[in-house]
């Protein structure tokens, strides 16, 4: 068994580091852009008087970074070559995500809004795999060029993990001789609606509450008069772009149906394993950063005339965290490598539990590492002059999003006890 990373991948990490040092870091130091990352970061990023939304200057800076990363050939790395990507594997993406997060806060990889010089772009693949020819032609290039931006309307105020009980409905209605759908309902945590041109909105079109069948995805223009942002939810980590959105008598034609009729949940699940393993890698990288920064500080800080690091009360918590980082890194990379050998259905049936293990444990580990880093650093660790509070606040979100920690454990339990997976018990 060879645990060495492919040379082309380690070479690419070096290429990314060079790009960051030569292009991205100088931009951080221009026009006081460092304010978005030093102790002023939350204030600098947030338009508190404008609903808590991201400041326009902050979003403009992120857009410029994406442009530079795209020009350099990095932004689309995981996408197939037909979209200008490099066919990046799951293994490569986990290594890259860990590597970028382990560098700490910066324009190269800001986890608060999923910004990175190596992007995910899952919507492009969704349109490739589920869109009609007309939808593909209309959307893909425009999404890649950021002319179109899509939001994802799945969660509802009364329904989060229980998506099959969604209350948003669409009923058939013909207008001007064109068949279509009339939508009424509400969505929650519809990230990015303040700039979205469209919202992929999940609605019940048939069946009853609890049925997986009968849910359909519809592409809804966000400027429809019946689409209204009711409020932006202020969160633990600001700024916010997470609104509650109402849909009141919103009509779309049949051509807005995205993916299989009554089989829309397949779209919601299409990229779930890739998202979860990459999220796990980011949390791992951030946890590693917290451990290394704490070790460095403990060697430099000399209370009572000796290094803080000489105290076992400091050593032992770091030892445990460092041990978990090492073990989890191997599981994440092994799981990502296995994903690369399988089709999406095989991943779901064979190793979905391993993906869930990686995700929930990495997210928890990062929160523990950030909390312990604050403790090791003392008062300055608690302040915003160190990045640990920011890391904690962001990664605490990951224990809820992309499938809550409890949902992930339920998946592991189902595999472990033979209710699902390759070792499913026969009754």
Q: Between 205 and 112, whose confidence is greater?
A: 205
What are 261-285's pLDDT values in tens digits?
Answer: 999 999 988 889 999 999 999 999 9
What are 232-255's pLDDT values in tens digits?
Answer: 999 999 999 999 999 999 999 999
Structural domains of the chain sorted by starting position, each given as residue range(s) with its CATH number in brackets:
7-122 (1.10.540), 150-263 (2.40.110.10), 271-416 (1.20.140.10)
CB hemisphere CA count around 415 (13 angstroms): 18
Residue 328 CA to residue 321 CA, distance in Å, equals: 10
What are 43-99's pLDDT values in tens digits?
Answer: 999 999 999 999 999 999 999 999 999 999 999 999 999 999 999 999 999 999 999
Residue 200 CA to residue 193 CA, distance in Å, equals: 11
Q: Between 426 and 204, whose confidence is greater?
A: 204
Residue 383 CA to residue 390 CA, distance in Å, equals: 10
Which secondary-structure segment (H or E) carries 112? Answer: none
Task: Report how far apart the first and last C-alpha atoms of the chain are (Å, whole number).
Answer: 37
Task: Tell me the DSSP string of 225-253.
Answer: TTEEEEEE---SSSS---EEEEEEEEEEE
Question: How many secondary structure helices (H) and strands (E) does the chain include?
Answer: 15, 12
Residues 98-113, mean pLDDT to the nearest whole number:
91
In 301-404, alpha helices (H): 312-340, 344-350, 352-377, 379-382, 388-398
What are 307-317's pLDDT values in tens digits?
Answer: 999 999 999 99
Candidates 226, 219, 217, 265; CA nearest to 245 is: 226
The answer to whether 74 and 66 have CB atoms below 8 angstroms apart is: no
User: Does the pLDDT at position 207 exceed 90?
Assistant: yes
Residue 395 CA to residue 8 CA, distance in Å, equals: 30
Beta strands in 19-104 (DSSP E): 46-47, 53-54
Residue 134 CA to residue 188 CA, distance in Å, equals: 29
Residue 20 CA to residue 10 CA, distance in Å, equals: 15
Residue 377, φ and ψ in degrees, nearest 5: -80, -10
Which secondary-structure segment (H or E) carries 18? Answer: helix 7-19
User: Does the pLDDT at position 26 exceed 90?
Assistant: yes
User: Does the pLDDT at position 398 exceed 80?
Assistant: yes
pLDDT at residue 296 in the model: 97
Which secondary-structure segment (H or E) carries 5? Answer: none
User: Does the pLDDT at position 1 exceed 80?
Assistant: no
pLDDT at residue 315 in the model: 96
pLDDT at residue 427 in the model: 62
Classify the C-alpha dihedral 249-251-254-256 as positive or negative: negative
Q: How many CB atoms lie within 10 A of CB 157?
A: 14
What is the rounded average pLDDT for all residues in the chain?
94
Candidates 120, 151, 124, 409; CA nearest to 278 is: 120
Report pTM: 0.94
DSSP-derived secondary structure letter, 223 = T
Candidates 243, 190, 183, 247; CA nearest to 215 is: 183
């Amino acid at each position: 068994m060879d645990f060495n990373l492919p040379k082309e991948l380690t070479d690419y990490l070096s290429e990314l580091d060079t790009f960051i040092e030569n292009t991205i870091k100088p931009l951080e130091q221009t026009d006081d852009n460092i304010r978005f990352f030093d102790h002023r970061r939350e204030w600098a990023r947030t338009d508190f008087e404008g609903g808590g939304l991201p400041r326009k200057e902050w979003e403009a800076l992120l857009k410029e970074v994406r442009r530079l990363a795209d020009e350099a050939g990095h932004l689309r790395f995981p996408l197939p070559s037909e979209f200008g990507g490099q066919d990046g594997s799951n293994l490569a993406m986990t290594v890259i995500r860990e590597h970028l997060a382990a560098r700490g806060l910066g324009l190269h990889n800001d986890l608060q809004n999923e910004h990175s010089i190596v992007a995910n772009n899952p919507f492009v693949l969704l349109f490739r795999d589920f869109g009609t020819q007309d939808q593909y032609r209309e959307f893909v290039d425009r999404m890649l060029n950021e002319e179109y931006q899509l939001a994802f309307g799945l969660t509802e105020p009364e329904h989060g993990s229980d998506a099959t009980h969604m209350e948003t409905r669409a009923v058939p209605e013909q207008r001007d001789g064109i068949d279509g759908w009339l939508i009424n309902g509400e969505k929650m945590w519809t990230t990015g609606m303040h700039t979205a041109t469209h919202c992929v909105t999940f609605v019940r079109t048939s069946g009853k509450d609890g049925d997986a069948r009968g849910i359909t995805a519809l592409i809804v223009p966000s400027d429809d008069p019946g689409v209204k942002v009711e409020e932006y939810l202020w969160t633990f980590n600001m700024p916010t772009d997470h609104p509650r959105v109402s849909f009141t008598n919103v009509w779309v034609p049949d051509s807005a149906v995205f993916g299989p009729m009554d089989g829309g949940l397949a779209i919601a699940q299409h990229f779930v394993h890739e998202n979860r393993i990459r999220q796990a890698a980011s949390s791992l990288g951030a946890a590693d950063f917290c451990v290394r920064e704490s070790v460095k500080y403990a060697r430099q800080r000399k209370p009572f005339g000796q290094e803080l690091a000489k105290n076992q009360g400091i050593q032992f918590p770091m030892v445990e965290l460092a041990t978990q980082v090492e073990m989890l890194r191997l599981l994440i990379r092994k799981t990502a490598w296995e994903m690369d050998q399988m089709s999406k259905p095989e991943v779901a049936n064979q190793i979905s539990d391993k993906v869930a293990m990686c995700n929930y444990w990495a997210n928890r580990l990062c929160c523990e590492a950030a909390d312990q880093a604050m403790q090791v650093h003392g008062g300055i660790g608690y302040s915003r002059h160190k990045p640990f509070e920011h890391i904690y606040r962001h990664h605490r979100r990951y224990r809820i999003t992309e499938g809550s920690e409890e949902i992930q454990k339920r998946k592991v339990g189902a595999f472990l006890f033979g209710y699902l997976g390759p070792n499913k018990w026969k009754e």
